[in-house]
Structure 1
Amino acid sequence: MYKYLFFSVSFAALAIPAAAQDGSGTLASDSVSSAETNITVTATGTRIELEDTGQQVTIIGEEEIRAVQGPDLTRVLERVPGLTFSRNGGLGGFTGVRLRGSEAEQVLIVLDGVRVSDPAAPSGGFDFGNLLSGNLAKLEVIRGSNSTIWGSDAMGGVIVASTRADTGLVASAEYGADDSVTANASAGIGDADTGFIGASANFARTDGFSSAASGTEADGFEQWAIEGHGRYYFSDAFEVFARIRQTEGTLELDGLTFPAYTLADTDEEQDTRQTFGSAGAVLDTGPLFLTASYSFADTARDNLDGSGSTTFSSDGESDRISLRGEWRPIGPLLLNFGAQNEWTSYETLYDTGDSTSILGAYAQAGVEWRGISGHIGVRIDDHEDFGSEISFGADISYELVDSWRLRASIGEGFKAPSLFQLLSDYGNRELSPEHSTSYDFGIAYGDRALTDRPLYGAVTLYRRDTEDQIAFVSCFGASTDICTDRPYGTYDNQDRTRAQGVEAELRARIAETVVLGAVYSLIETENRGAGPNAGNVLARRPRHAATFTGEWSPVPALSLGADLRVVSGSFDDAGNSSRLEGYEVMSLRAAFDVTEAVQIFGRVENVWDEDYQTAAGYATRGSAAFVGARLAL
């Protein structure tokens, strides 16, 4: 109940200009443009210029998100090297995002400073089908293990998403294929001396198409979201902030049908409700930077059959208090530090649920002197159920000559067993955390975020080894050892895996009005454990993935763009018996500035109507067209 009291109080607090920052550690007084070009929070947990980290970080700003068009966030994320995804059907369907061959649940997701993974999900992951691009202002993606700063779940990397929080009014709407309607609006007022108050609303609806590739009945999706954000500056050095987000959505589902148990049309639907919030304060005296906050996330789901009866429900909640800081005692030396305590709980229709907690603290020393920057840190976490865990990380960045920079990092990651894996009827209290160690080395020319520069390029080599990976153990026909008193199966630490490869990026302004870009990833994965799947590649990890982009402005008011996604084949299962064929999908888009405040835009997705799947048995959208308009005041 206190979460909903917090929800009400937060909106009341927004009635005055009190509260602030994006929860990620970047002061609200930083301009949006500088946040898009230079500042990242994923490497240290506070503020750092991108050139000062040896870790591989991609920043996608508001202008680029807006240029891609549409609510489907995966179309934006395709521009991140090393990132692949799979989706169960159309918009709103379960979407898992993987970094460098990781499991989707091994990627930590932070939205406006709140860790939004669902504690009630079997593996405790986050469903990207519930996050639309709507009013997003920035995406920051770190590739590689980074539990030193971020603790549990940061084995494959971290994705930090920030929604728009700027003065003025921005609104857009579009209509297109499958009777799809999307509308977004955000507004804010404030100044650099007093503070800021803002709110946004998002709505998306589509009749969709059959999620089952063999089906004929369309599966629709509808979602709305509202947000409030405020901050108040007590002085140049101190501010307070609060933020709240409420999302509700309904997704029509296809499922396994009796007696064949194959994916087919059904009348099922899933209702999802999410409430995320945070509040805290920021102190920035120059040498000392501190941010303290409380945040919570609540994700509730109900699955309903055709008659409206509940067939399954779950509710996962987390509460977190956090302190992060940076101290620059003298010259080029700095110290990043922090501590967090998180409480999580879950319950389902068939399980009364349980709760647990984890306490963690870290320290990271660094030096930033002339052309060289380096950091080394350690973290310790104490989990209520499995005990203590220590994580180590280090990185270095060195400017060889003007615009040329070497980067290298090593990091450890761990993922605590989910509450479902530990404590449900299928649970195993003897589970250990999953562990990973990642290494990467790269060279870069220029800066990807500085779009006015003529050339940017980067090549990175990486490897990540994972141990103690948790997998479900079937107990069909077995009743001894781990299957004792577990007739339906359980979870166990089983696998060792490896993912390694190459990432390459290129962006070139070949003329004043023409920009071409490309990202490519070679991802080699291997199950290195024992058993029948030893030596197999990991499921849903394509070996090759590339995105090619082009932007052309033949006249100042007109922008034309094209995106081509090329993905090689993969396997849908650990046994490598179900093949997913590769695919090539192109989108064309255009935008025209009618006035300085009004823009009309449109696009065609999947231009040549490619028939492909990212998850076996689930369909994807064919050729589709959309038109819309945007207002910015």
Structure 2
Amino acid sequence: MKTSISSVALLLATVSLSPAHAADAPQVAPPADAAAANEADAAAIIVTATRSAVNRDQVASSVTVLDKAAIDRAQDMGVTELLLRTPGVSISRNGGYGTATSLRIRGAETDQTVVVIDGVKLNDPSSTGGGFNFANLLTGDAARIEVLRGPQSILWGSQAIGGVVNIVTPGPQKDLEGSFDLEAGSRRTASARAAIGGKQGPLRWRLGGQSFTTDGISAIAPSAGGREKDGYTNRNIQGRVELDLAEGVTADLRSYYSRGHVDIDGFAGDSQEFSLNKEFVGYAGLKVDLMGGRFRNRIGYGYTDTDRDNFNPTLARTKTFDAAGKNKRIEYQGSFAFTDGITALFGVENENSRFRSVSPSASLAVPIPAPARGKAEITSVYGQLSVVPVTGLTLTGGLRHDDHSRFGGKTLFAAGGAWALPTGTIVRASYAEGFKAPSLYQLFSEYGNTALNPEQAHGWEAGVEQRFLDDRISIGGSYFERKTTDQIIYSSCSTTSTNPLCFTPGTTTRRFGYYANVARAKAHGIEAAASARPIEGLVIDGNYTWTVAEDRSVGTANFGRWLPRRPRNMANGSFSYDWGFGLTTGAAVRWSGHSFDNASNATRLDGYTLVDLRGEFALSPALKLFARAENVFDKSYMTASRYGTLGRSIYAGVRGRF
């Protein structure tokens, strides 16, 4: 442990502690703009994960903003790899690219994070926790990624107990523009992405697509007997159109579709099994600005459709799993600027979710059972008031009421403030409550329990950030705490158990387990962050997170034990240097302390340190060559017991913008 602490101390002494958030954040049209008389300064860092475009210095919660420059500089293929470089974020993955990926913010469950693309909330009602699987989310056409940490249920509703990940794609800035990225590397990995868009009078449009393929690694680690490679292919396309119908009236259409194919291994080891995942997201909206932009309105309809199927070609009945989830969301959001310093944000939402799931027997002699089905409806009303009583001080407070078709009404509260002082000091503090209804899978699947109660949480944080030398140096930190009650866990059943929940409801058929509200959890910790540009061309950044996430279920054997797959200590550091003749080089270090794979803490996952190198050379302002080496020292490690991770990998490519 002394060695680990010394390593962290050395890392923090040589790098800064904040993910890159350059001041030249791209200007985009968020789905709901802030109704403020004074526009944010063009050079400021704008945050839209708050459901309104506000200056980062006015946000009461901890937020990280990765702009396009930071995304390109990191060169990561997947969004999860980018997010891992930010404070408070950990992941676990069941193998290489495309396999089941769980992302946790500040020790919260993976299904307690809301994922948003261009204002459209993503989730899969047929997944275990009703959350989003990050496995198929590639960096693609992202222009900015925001991570808002801590409970955010006032604005984003159920699931936002851990935080919000907001991905923003670019809006066109020219009459005609385009971009492309081509790269290839280890394990016959190849990625090709292209996008084109433009502005013609009242019309703004953009269309992009990507193809990614890799031979991969064995999902089961070699140390656990894995030998064959499990490949992955992902193809996606997305588009958006905005049309000004009249002054202050804009129609907005967006769509996203992806199809992923990944080879997977069975619990016993190598197999020929594979999984197909298809995701469709559609959105249609109308934005109406009144009173010179002081009163802004948005009406929208969002639709998500996720279809997941598993196959085993060696079985008589090849399809082993079939699940589908659909979401239909109708929403209204408005904002009204009473004065330059008082703004109200408010809205109404109605969401209908459905799921279907079935696991057919491998034998053709056994009829396919009727699929488990379920549906739920939730209607929500929310409001938030933002007040600037004195220069630099922003106070916010909000309420949300959710009316769930199965669990009735629940009202939540949040409040906070951010104070930007003339000394370059920013002080933040906030309190927020969270609420998450059981997922349809947890209620109605073959392991379901219709007697479940919703998960509830409340948390607070306080932090300080100090900037020096015209913002060329920044250092800060925050303390956070969150308590969760009625947390839902999966409980296994023995073959001799007499517990009624160990039998399929209404039958005498045994089942492997069930979901239950038996857990209480608590998480608290510290996030430290800093960044520096000490000389022209040099960018140094990094972060350190200490998170204590524990099971606090009184009277149980696991009381006081670490929640699974959550390291207590994590740190990142990176630097890049522009040599002035088109060449930029850099390196990144990621360190994770040990964690445990299971609730009893019987299986330990060792800590690890990974080093990446990267370089870029500009052939012209519009065309750049790039290359990187990941896990340079070929470190063997696990984020989930028995599952493999990528060893040393080398990639190179070309990037164009015109």
Do Structure 1 and Structure 2 share a fold, with TM-score over 0.5?
yes
> Aligned runs of 1:12-51 on 2, under 5 Å?
24-26=31-33, 37-43=44-50, 45-51=51-57
Report the CA distance shift for 1:37/1:210 in structure 2 as closer, same or farther (over 3 A).
farther
* Residues 1:495 and 2:516 are matched in the alignment: no
Report the CA distance shift for 1:321/1:556 in structure 2 as closer, same or farther (over 3 A).
farther
Q: Which residue of 1 aligns with 2:602?
A: 577
* Residues 1:288 and 2:291 are matched in the alignment: no
* Residues 1:334 and 2:343 are matched in the alignment: yes
More divergent stretch after superposition (114-123 vs 279-288)? 279-288
The TM-score, its normalising length taken from structure 1, stands at: 0.91
Name the SS for the 2:533 alignment partner. strand
Cα deviations by residue, 1:488-510 (Å, 9 ceiling, x for unpaired): 13221111111101001110012
Q: Which residue of 1 aligns with 2:328?
A: 319
* Cα distance between partner residues in 2 of 1:355 and 1:405: 45
Q: Which residue of 2 aligns with 1:194?
A: 202
> Aligned runs of 1:46-57 on 2, under 5 Å?
46-57=52-63
Aligned partners of 2:30 and 2:52 also within 8 Å: no
> Where in structure 2 are there 5+ consecutive unaligned residues?
1-27, 35-39, 360-370
CA positional deviation for 1:481 = 5.3
Q: Which 4+ runs in 1 deviate beyond 6 A? A: 33-36
More divergent stretch after superposition (536-545 vs 114-123)? 114-123
CA positional deviation for 1:37 = 4.6
Q: Which residue of 2 aligns with 1:209?
A: 217
Cα deviations by residue, 1:510-547 (Å, 9 ceiling, x for unpaired): 21121111111000111110311111011011011111
CA positional deviation for 1:271 = 0.7
Q: Which residue of 1 aligns with 2:377?
A: 357
Q: Which residue of 1 aligns with 2:253?
A: 242
- Residue 319 (structure 2) aligned to one of 299, 305, 310: 310
Aligned partners of 2:30 and 2:53 also within 8 Å: no
Report the CA distance shift for 1:485/1:231 in structure 2 as closer, same or farther (over 3 A).
closer
Aligned partners of 1:53 and 1:374 also within 8 Å: no
> Aligned runs of 1:86-235 on 2, under 5 Å?
86-166=92-172, 167=174, 168-191=177-200, 193-214=201-222, 215-235=226-246
Code of the residue aligned with 1:207 in structure 2: it is D
More divergent stretch after superposition (453-462 vs 234-243)? 234-243
Q: Which residue of 2 aligns with 1:439?
A: 460
* Cα distance between partner residues in 1 of 2:105 and 2:548: 12
Code of the residue aligned with 1:96 in structure 2: it is S
> Aligned runs of 1:2-21 on 2, under 5 Å?
none
* Cα distance between partner residues in 1 of 2:500 and 2:261: 42
Code of the residue aligned with 1:281 in structure 2: it is L
Aligned partners of 2:33 and 2:296 also within 8 Å: no
> Where in structure 1 are there 5+ consecutive unaligned residues?
1-20, 28-32, 258-263
Aligned partners of 1:68 and 1:75 also within 8 Å: no
* Residues 1:534 and 2:554 are matched in the alignment: no
Report the CA distance shift for 1:485/1:607 in structure 2 as closer, same or farther (over 3 A).
closer
Number of equivalences: 598
Aligned partners of 1:466 and 1:497 also within 8 Å: yes
Cα deviations by residue, 1:547-587 (Å, 9 ceiling, x for unpaired): 10101011241111111001000001000000000000011
Name the SS for the 2:143 alignment partner. strand
* Cα distance between partner residues in 1 of 2:355 and 2:255: 21
CA positional deviation for 1:26 = 4.2
Code of the residue aligned with 2:478 in structure 1: it is T
Cα deviations by residue, 1:446-500 (Å, 9 ceiling, x for unpaired): 49xxx99411222101001110001123333223454465531322111111110
* Residues 1:525 and 2:531 are matched in the alignment: no
Code of the residue aligned with 2:419 in structure 1: it is Y
Name the SS for the 1:511 alignment partner. coil
CA positional deviation for 1:306 = 2.6
Cα deviations by residue, 1:184-207 (Å, 9 ceiling, x for unpaired): 00110105x512111001010000
* Cα distance between partner residues in 1 of 2:428 and 2:247: 34
Q: Which residue of 2 aligns with 1:600?
A: 625
* Cα distance between partner residues in 1 of 2:420 and 2:622: 41
Code of the residue aligned with 1:95 in structure 2: it is T
CA positional deviation for 1:274 = 0.6
Name the SS for the 2:373 alignment partner. strand
Q: Which residue of 2 aligns with 1:459?
A: 477
Name the SS for the 1:129 alignment partner. helix
- Residue 511 (structure 1) aligned to one of 507, 528, 535: 535
* Cα distance between partner residues in 1 of 2:423 and 2:298: 34
Q: Which residue of 2 aligns with 1:8?
A: none
> Aligned runs of 1:614-633 on 2, under 5 Å?
614-633=639-658
Q: Which residue of 1 aligns with 2:589?
A: 564
- Residue 304 (structure 2) aligned to one of 297, 301, 305: 297
Q: Which residue of 2 aligns with 1:7?
A: none
* Cα distance between partner residues in 2 of 1:205 and 1:319: 31
Code of the residue aligned with 2:387 in structure 1: it is V
Q: Which residue of 2 aligns with 1:266?
A: 271
* Cα distance between partner residues in 2 of 1:558 and 1:318: 47
* Residues 1:472 and 2:486 are matched in the alignment: no
Name the SS for the 1:555 alignment partner. coil
Code of the residue aligned with 1:156 in structure 2: it is G
Q: Which residue of 2 aligns with 1:83?
A: 89
* Cα distance between partner residues in 2 of 1:275 and 1:587: 34
* Cα distance between partner residues in 1 of 2:215 and 2:43: 35
Aligned partners of 1:22 and 1:113 also within 8 Å: no
Report the CA distance shift for 1:381/1:104 in structure 2 as closer, same or farther (over 3 A).
same
Report the CA distance shift for 1:322/1:445 in structure 2 as closer, same or farther (over 3 A).
same
Q: Which residue of 2 aligns with 1:18?
A: none
* Cα distance between partner residues in 1 of 2:492 and 2:137: 32
Aligned partners of 2:76 and 2:82 also within 8 Å: no
Q: Which residue of 2 aligns with 1:71?
A: 77
Report the CA distance shift for 1:360/1:500 in structure 2 as closer, same or farther (over 3 A).
same
Q: Which residue of 1 aligns with 2:24?
A: none
Kindly report the root-mean-square deviation, in angstroms, between the aligned alpha carbons of the 2 structures.
2.0
Q: Which residue of 2 aligns with 1:424?
A: 445
Q: Which residue of 2 aligns with 1:255?
A: 266
Q: Which residue of 2 aligns with 1:389?
A: 410
* Cα distance between partner residues in 2 of 1:473 and 1:587: 39
Aligned partners of 1:225 and 1:246 also within 8 Å: yes
Q: Percent identical across equivalent pairs?
A: 32
* Cα distance between partner residues in 2 of 1:576 and 1:282: 51
* Cα distance between partner residues in 2 of 1:206 and 1:548: 28
